[in-house]
Structure 1
Amino acid sequence: MKFTILALTLVTGLLQQSSFAKPLIEQQIVERINQGLQQSTDTLQQVVNINSGTLNFEGVKEVADVFIAQFDAIGFDTQWVDGSEFNRAGHLVASYGTKGPKILMIGHLDTVFAKSDDFQRYQTLDNGFVAGPGIIDMKGGDVIILSALKALKGLNLLENVSVRVVMTGDEESSGRPLSLSKKAIIDAAKWADIALGFENADSNIKTAVVARRGSVGWQLNVEGRAAHSSQIFSEKVGYGAIFETARILNEFRENLVGVGNLSFNPGIIVGGTQINVQPQNATAGAFGKSNVVAKEVSVRGGIRALSLQELTDAQKVMQEIVAENLAHTSARLTFSEGYPPMSPTDNNYKLLSMYSDISESLGYGKVSPVNPRNAGAADISFAADHVDMAMDGLGLMGAGAHTKGEVADMSSFAKNMHKAAILIYRIGESELD
């Protein structure tokens, strides 16, 4: 049963009035986390040093096993959801409690770094920074989830909430169909009242995510009449596939740039007399000559929108543009399944206000909403429509995610554990069911 948002709002208001008093029990939460900080850091180093590129199924499962052992040790029920049906390693689900507000905590086990990549190890740098593959996206966030729950369990403060942790094994490259690969998150979200995501978002400890744009792939296939180039633009030959593609892409730009929070990008294009596209490994090749009118073009890209309406409107405009073909050309535009938007809601902002109040009470400063254009798609988008409140960006901060320059600012590690644990505690103390 979804809990009463109005009651939570009233409780939040009361807590805000005395936020700087920092109750004794919240000090105890902070101290407990600090006592376990070395173990948390050791766990972070252990999982970062395990390659878990999305397609390294054994590595993803090995990372999951590290977390499973630690969740088991604190009394959680753990489950490994096999991913063979959607061609991925699988997901970790850990659950605790049967009463109080239901909280879903979301992480992911995989990274963008393949097993063959030379960026593989945890490395301590100067000034409190640490480098490592997936350290902020998002093994640091996974450890924050675990450490916050460990501290609360050790202080017997998890009894007023029910928690379900879902750490997916395919966030960086989702298995297909999405109905299967995202089922663990969607099912947990339907159960939950609140969803908390521990991505790094824009890697600014002073921000959190209350809205994310959805992400959908698109593919444009264009055909023209192959002929000697001396006959291009003639009544018999027309304009060829490349000119028609250029027209379409330019009109996409002219009609959709600056519309709301929309963005779109043609990421790969190939054209000529004959083309060979291999989407499974994101490569393409072509044969063509400068004196031959191009017969085929293929373009693959993505589109991001903050609401389903924004996405639907953009797709309609794009299809209308594609249909107005130049002479002797044809074009077909298709959209793939993708990540839905996490729309900004009043309740998401209320949850952020509660989190920001906690941050201020700890002396860490106010937390403001991330600009949706600065936060990519994430698994929480599949949960947001099913819960009363959702917030993301609570993970380990740093820079260079998805690059070999990925580094963590370890000054944010314990701080975000403190904030997450106290948020869960305060939600439980609201005694709402």
Structure 2
Amino acid sequence: MIDYIKKHKDEMISLLEQLVNTDSNSYDKAGVDKISRLLKRKFEEIGMHVTVHRQVEQGDHLEIKADRDCDPKILIIAHMDTVFPKGEAAKRPFKIIDDKAYGPGVNDEKASHVQVLYAMKALKASGSEALKNVHIIFNSDEEIGSLSSKALIEEAAAGKDYSLVVECGRPHDGVVTERKGVGRFMMDVHGKSAHSGVEPEIGRSAIEELAHKVIRLQQLNDYKQGLTVNVGLISGGTSVNTVAPEASAQIDVRVKDKEQALDVTKEINDIASEESISGTRTDISGSIGRPPMEKTKKTDELLQIIQTTGKKLGYQIQEVSTGGGSDAAYTASKGIPTIDGMGPIGEYSHSETNEYTDLPSLVERTILLAKTIEALSLQK
């Protein structure tokens, strides 16, 4: 398997270039579907069974197994969508500088598409039975919360022994064992309009009320405990000389565990219900939509298998935690041992200029994935 992957490095990079040069924003269904059709064809060429889960608004999801009737115990999750707008690939196409590949979505996570495909190719070429132990999900909406693919992921996760999520690997051979949960809330304040020069006293400023609430929301931050609350967008008012009848705020929340999620949700709702400006009313919507990926004893056991596998290959696999969310949360929350960040190593995801994938790691992480699948398939 190792020789197979090394010999196909140039072919892997060529496919990576093709993927990066295809726009696939979460809301660009045509673009994401172009990626999914390409991947479908590539996996079918090696004899794997591909089910297309068609979507109306977002791109189609893919579900892949060695054959229709096998019962895999390892789930691999990757996403095909990116955050970049249509036209970005033409503006700054794939390029290589030294040993790094650049381009929109190269690290998050088109290099991972190549990795998964060539890990499967290597398993098949070696005649490994472990190929039958793999269940792959490529979804199309991870960057916008996996709303249409969450159910598919959770269904695929049922009965699995392990979940490997191929978000990008971290520098220094890092993989992810913990992620924060992610919440989105919308606070809508309703006041009463009035002429700001003629009769401001009869107005009730929604903006003033929201300002009080924003300060209280920001005070919920507890960085030492892993809690972040960020009011990232605000809007309101109708004109500069009118007491604002409406104002709203969009709030991003990151939590380290389920208890913290419950506590901060209550605090946000309490802030919404309390008035600073009499006569205003506040509606609150939203929730912690993606649960935290919490490390467990079983996660640590899975990590040790990956570290042992890596050590045999000359890699010193390190564990890290991160504030970003991913689909790993959905399998971890179901009690399935989950390791994220199994993809090729890179940095600066979502960056308009600096996002890159380390090309030597494209080969190394493909080998690690294939060998990890073999090692896990031998576990009882």
TM-score (norm 1): 0.81
Structure 2 portions without partners, runs of 5+: none
Which residue type is aligned with residue 121 of structure 1? P
1:74 positional shift? 1.9
Which residue type is aligned with residue 379 of structure 1? D
Instruction: Write out aligned runs for 1:386-425 (5 A).
Output: 386=334, 388-405=336-353, 406-425=355-374
Change (3 A) 1:160 1:54: closer
1:321 aligns with 2:292: no
Q: Find the aligned partners of 1:101 and 1:184 in 2 and give their Cα distance.
A: 15
Listed one character per residue, the Cα deviations across residues 14-43 of structure 1 (whole Å, up to 9, x for unaligned) are xxxxxxxxxxxxxxx322211222221221
Counterpart selection for 1:116 from 66, 84, 87: 87
Listed one character per residue, the Cα deviations across residues 410-431 of structure 1 (whole Å, up to 9, x for unaligned) are 121111111111111111123x
Instruction: Write out aligned runs for 1:266-305 (5 A).
Output: 266-272=231-237, 287-289=238-240, 291-305=241-255
| Match in the other structure for 2:43 | 71
Residue pair 1:51, 1:115 contacting (<8 A) in 2 also: yes
Which residue type is aligned with residue 209 of structure 1? V
| Match in the other structure for 1:38 | 10
1:247 aligns with 2:238: no
1:253 positional shift? 2.3
Counterpart selection for 1:360 from 289, 311, 328: 311
1:389 positional shift? 1.0
Residue pair 1:237, 1:328 contacting (<8 A) in 2 also: no
| Match in the other structure for 1:198 | 166
Residue pair 1:256, 1:314 contacting (<8 A) in 2 also: no
Which residue type is aligned with residue 195 of structure 1? S
Residue pair 2:344, 2:366 contacting (<8 A) in 1 also: no
Runs (4+) off by over 4 Å: 97-101, 228-234
| Match in the other structure for 1:89 | 59
1:191 positional shift? 3.8
Q: Find the aligned partners of 1:37 and 1:158 in 2 and give their Cα distance.
A: 24
Q: Find the aligned partners of 2:96 and 2:108 in 1 and give their Cα distance.
A: 17
What's the secondary structure of 1:269's corresponding residue? strand
Change (3 A) 1:388 1:119: same
1:404 positional shift? 2.0
What's the secondary structure of 2:62's corresponding residue? strand
Listed one character per residue, the Cα deviations across residues 167-202 of structure 1 (whole Å, up to 9, x for unaligned) are 011112246xx3x4322211111142211011116x
Counterpart selection for 2:183 from 213, 216, 222: 216
Aligned residue pairs: how many? 376
Change (3 A) 1:51 1:255: closer
Residue pair 2:185, 2:286 contacting (<8 A) in 1 also: yes
Q: Find the aligned partners of 1:339 and 1:232 in 2 and give their Cα distance.
A: 46
RMSD: 2.3
| Match in the other structure for 2:116 | 145
Residue pair 2:22, 2:35 contacting (<8 A) in 1 also: yes
Counterpart selection for 1:369 from 313, 316, 319: 319
| Match in the other structure for 2:76 | 105
Counterpart selection for 1:307 from 257, 263, 271: 257
Residue pair 2:182, 2:290 contacting (<8 A) in 1 also: yes
Counterpart selection for 1:181 from 149, 152, 155: 149
Q: Find the aligned partners of 2:344 and 2:78 in 1 and give their Cα distance.
A: 12
| Match in the other structure for 1:338 | 289
Change (3 A) 1:172 1:255: closer
What's the secondary structure of 1:208's corresponding residue? strand
1:110 positional shift? 1.5
Q: Find the aligned partners of 1:90 and 1:122 in 2 and give their Cα distance.
A: 24
